């Protein structure tokens, strides 16, 4: 397939078009994904999540700069960004503004940025985010940063998608609100208090450390005792604190490798995708075999209490899918 070759050879237009195809799940893009899949699995996937306005996009920009201009003798890493923003539930449209903060990355051929709308998908990511990441991975990007929608329930999906999860907080957003977000702290591999130039940093930092301690106590120190989530301060406008953040990301990557968790996470990710796809496929097949009339009739019978819900399922599903 020419498209696949082009993507593997670093053709950026081909890559961009493939990502569009994946979003609409076109035949050709799905086939290309099949062929590219064996080449993926090498990139370090970093999820950046947190409430809207905490500075995620600005921080992502600084992170990319740091990966592109490493100090010492390190080699610059080819870096991709997928920035997810919500679609309007009413119009289906979306305003994708994360690039505004990534202007310093322009003109670097080792960087690729893609904005993506959720298109009704819950959980802070788009349906096509996972496959887009696979394609970018296959295309040779060594670091892939995924910025999620900063809404409440983003936790689970990004936790599955990324190797390292950076949760971004900022002072002055109201600690009471954050108290309800214990879930997001639990998925954090690294906690960042951004906008360190703003008043109230110490307070936010203290508060987050307290929350972390509490949740690790509740967890009985069982889960990840070899990894202690660091709490770091950054200023995403000046880049202050970035060296420490980069260092923490590399340290986490080492930790994942040494503990074998890289493999476990990658496997869990694949398992998740597999199960999701199976469910979807079965549902599709069932829908193809079941008419709206069948469904309405079962509903009638149910309303008249002639059959029970379990029996309805027996008739509608068990007898159909064999």
Partner 1 sequence: MRERKIRVLIAKPGLDGHDRGAKVVARALRDAGMEVIYTGLRQTPEMIAEAALQEDVDVVGLSILSGAHLVLAPRVINLLRSQGQERVCVFVGGIIPNEDIPVLLDAGVRVVYGPGTPTYKIAEEIRQCTTAVSGEITDNLKDE
Nearer to Mg ion among residue 21 and residue 124 (C-beta): 124
Q: Which of 92, 152, 210, 243 binds partner 1 (CB under 8 A)?
A: 92
The DSSP code sequence of 18-74 is HHHHHHTT-HHHHHHHHHHGGG-S-SEEEEEE-STTSSHHHHHHHHHHHHHS-STTP
Q: Which of 37, 65, 115, 290 binds partner 1 (CB under 8 A)?
A: 115
Nearer to partner 1 among residue 121 and residue 204 (C-beta): 121
Q: Which of 46, 116, 161, 236 binds ligand GDP (CB under 6 A)?
A: 236
Q: Which of 28, 182, 283, 299 binds partner 1 (CB under 8 A)?
A: 28
Distance CA 189, CA 231 (A): 10
Residue pair 48/60 in contact (Cβ under 8 Å)? The answer is yes
Nearer to partner 1 among residue 32 and residue 242 (C-beta): 32
Who's near 143: CB < 8 A, 6+ residues apart? 43, 44, 46, 64, 67, 77, 78, 79, 80
Q: Which of 59, 60, 64, 113 binds partner 1 (CB under 8 A)?
A: 113
Q: Which of 23, 98, 163, 169 binds Mg ion (CB under 5 A)?
A: 98
Closest to 190 measured CA to CA, from 241, 116, 260: 241
Tell me if 233 contacts ligand GDP by CB under 6 A. no
Nearer to partner 1 among residue 121 and residue 229 (C-beta): 121
CA dist 207 → 62, 72, 197, 210, 312 (Å): 25, 35, 17, 5, 52
Tell me if 10 contacts partner 1 by CB under 8 A. no
Tell me if 229 contacts ligand GDP by CB under 6 A. no
Nearer to partner 1 among residue 1 and residue 177 (C-beta): 1
Residue pair 173/150 in contact (Cβ under 8 Å)? The answer is no
Closest to 153 measured CA to CA, from 59, 108, 95, 86: 86
Q: Which of 198, 209, 275, 285 binds ligand GDP (CB under 6 A)?
A: 198
Binding site for partner 1 (CB under 8 A): 1-3, 12-13, 16-21, 23-29, 32, 87-88, 91-97, 99-100, 103, 106-107, 112-115, 117, 119
């Amino acid at each position: 397939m020419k498209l696949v070759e082009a993507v593997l050879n670093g053709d950026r237009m081909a890559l961009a078009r493939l990502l569009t195809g994946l979003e609409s799940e076109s035949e050709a893009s799905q086939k290309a994904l099949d062929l590219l899949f064996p080449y993926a699995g090498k990139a370090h996937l970093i999820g950046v999540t947190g409430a809207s306005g905490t500075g995620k996009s600005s921080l992502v920009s600084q992170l990319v700069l740091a990966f592109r201009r490493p100090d010492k003798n390190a080699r610059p890493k080819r870096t991709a960004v997928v920035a997810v923003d919500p679609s309007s539930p009413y119009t289906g449209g979306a305003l994708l503004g994360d690039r505004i903060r990534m202007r310093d990355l322009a003109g670097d051929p080792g960087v690729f940025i893609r904005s993506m709308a959720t298109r009704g998908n819950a959980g802070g990511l788009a349906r096509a985010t996972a496959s887009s990441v696979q394609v970018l991975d296959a295309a040779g990007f060594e670091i892939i940063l995924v910025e999620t929608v900063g809404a409440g329930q983003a936790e689970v999906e990004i936790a599955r998608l990324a190797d390292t999860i950076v949760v971004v907080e900022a002072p002055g957003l109201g600690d009471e609100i954050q108290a309800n977000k214990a879930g997001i702290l639990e998925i954090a591999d690294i906690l960042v208090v951004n906008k360190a130039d703003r008043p109230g940093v110490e307070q936010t930092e203290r508060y987050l450390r307290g929350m972390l301690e509490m949740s690790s106590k509740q967890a009985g120190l069982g889960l990840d005792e070899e990894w202690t989530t660091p709490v770091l301060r950054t200023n995403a406008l000046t880049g202050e604190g970035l060296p420490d953040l980069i260092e923490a990301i590399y340290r986490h990557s080492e930790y994942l490798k040494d503990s074998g968790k890289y493999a476990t996470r990658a496997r869990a990710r694949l398992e998740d995708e597999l199960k999701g796809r199976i469910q979807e496929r079965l549902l599709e097949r069932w829908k193809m075999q079941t008419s709206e009339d069948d469904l309405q009739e079962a509903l009638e019978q149910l309303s008249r209490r002639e059959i029970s819900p379990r029996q309805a399922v027996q008739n509608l599903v068990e007898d159909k899918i064999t």
